[in-house]
């Protein structure tokens, strides 16, 4: 069985279109538009919108038509532009320093690699998504560094992503591969007119031989939906 996220095609199209428009306009802030940067932007957008899965080859055209609205197109375009700006201003771990080639830099130091954490913030009475909620992720009581600048911590939920949030914690170096360790996280949630809330969770990990710099979207951890009360 082949499962496919329909949003991928839509987002790739949007990101390429906007990169091309910016390039044509000669914007000075656009530092690079290579395939890696474009893919970074695609990941940035896909991580911030709900996926829409279909089984490949079955009714794909039909499904793409039904889910696509003008509002969604506008949301995706604005997220794409935001992503391009951030990617363009960031030295990604796999970029060379001058960003000319954007080649993937291998890193062979042992590390604890985290999957992405995802979840939703909902109103405890209506179960509607809460927008404008600010989430601060901490590890052992300290603000956690994200894998790169396309991820923010604290993160604020926005309307287009329906109260969804996601984090990708930067890898933590280890003495060697094969070490087991449990990481204690807390997620502080605040939203206007709601009671603040702290959610604690633990992630047991085994260190790997190298740092993982590329995002594998099949490997993400769904945290439980968090509800806020007024
Ligand atoms: Zn690049």
Pairing of strands 220-222, 116-123: parallel
3-state secondary structure of 201: strand
Q: What local confidence, expressed as pLDDT, does residue 201 receive? A: 94
Give the span between the Cα atoms of 88 and 97, in whole angstroms: 13
44 Cα–ligand 1 center, Å? 14
38 CA → ligand 1 middle, Å? 7
| Dist CA 134 CA 52 (whole Å) | 25
How many angstroms separate the alpha carbon of residue 92 from the centre of ligand 1? Answer: 9
Distance between Cα 184 and ligand 1 center (Å): 35
122, 230 Cβ separation under 8 angstroms:
no
Give the per-residue pLDDT at 104.
43
The pLDDT assigned to 100 comes to: 47
* 31 contacts: CB under 8 Å, gap ≥ 6: 88, 89, 99
Give the pLDDT of residue 94. Answer: 47
Which domains are delineated in the chain? 3-88 (no CATH), 111-228 (2.60.40.10)
CA 16 to ligand 1 center in whole angstroms: 13
Give the residue among 182, 206, 215 at the shortest CA–CA distance from 116.
215
Residues 142 and 202: their CA atoms lie apart, in Å, by: 15
Q: How many angstroms is it from 45 CA to the middle of ligand 1?
A: 17
Span from the CA of 181 to the centroid of ligand 1 (angstroms): 35
Give the separation between CA 213 and CA 211, rounded to whole angstroms.
Answer: 6
Given a cut of 70, the residues of the chain with pLDDT beneath it are: 1, 56-69, 90-107, 149-150, 160, 213-219
Cα within 13 Å of Cα(72), Cβ side: 16
- What is the per-residue pLDDT for 142? 96
> Can you give the pLDDT at residue 214?
59
Ligand 1 center to residue 79 CA distance, Å? 18
CB 118 within 8 A of CB 166: yes
How far away, in angstroms, is 30 Cα from ligand 1 center? Answer: 10
Say how many Å lie between the CA of residue 89 and the centre of ligand 1. 11
Separation CA 104–CA 66 (nearest Å): 38
Q: What percent of the chain has pLDDT over 90?
A: 35
Verdict on whether the full-model pTM lies above 0.75: no
- Beta 164-168 vs 116-123: how paired, if at all? antiparallel
For 66, phi then psi, to 5°, come to: -70, -30
């Amino acid at each position: 069985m082949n499962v496919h996220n329909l949003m991928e095609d839509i987002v790739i199209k949007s990101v390429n279109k906007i990169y091309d428009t910016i390039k044509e306009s000669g914007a000075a802030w656009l530092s690079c538009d290579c395939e890696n940067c474009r893919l970074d932007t695609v990941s940035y957008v896909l991580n911030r919108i709900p996926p829409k899965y279909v089984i490949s080859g079955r009714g794909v055209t039909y499904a793409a038509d039904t889910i696509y609205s003008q509002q969604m197109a506008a949301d995706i375009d604005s997220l794409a532009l935001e992503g391009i700006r951030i990617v363009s201003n960031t030295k990604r771990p796999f970029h060379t320093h001058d960003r000319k080639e954007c080649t993937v830099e291998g890193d062979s130091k042992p590390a604890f690699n985290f999957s992405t954490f995802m979840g939703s913030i909902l109103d405890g009475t209506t179960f509607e998504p809460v927008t404008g909620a600010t989430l601060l992720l901490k590890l052992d009581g300290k603000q956690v560094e994200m894998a790169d600048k396309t991820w923010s911590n604290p993160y604020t939920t926005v309307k287009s992503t329906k109260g969804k949030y996601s984090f990708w914690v930067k890898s933590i170096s280890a003495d060697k591969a094969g070490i087991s360790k449990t990481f204690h996280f807390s997620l502080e949630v605040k939203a206007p007119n709601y009671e603040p809330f702290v959610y604690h969770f633990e992630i047991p990990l085994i260190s790997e031989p190298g740092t993982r710099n590329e995002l594998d979207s099949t490997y993400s951890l769904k945290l439980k939906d968090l509800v806020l009360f007024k």
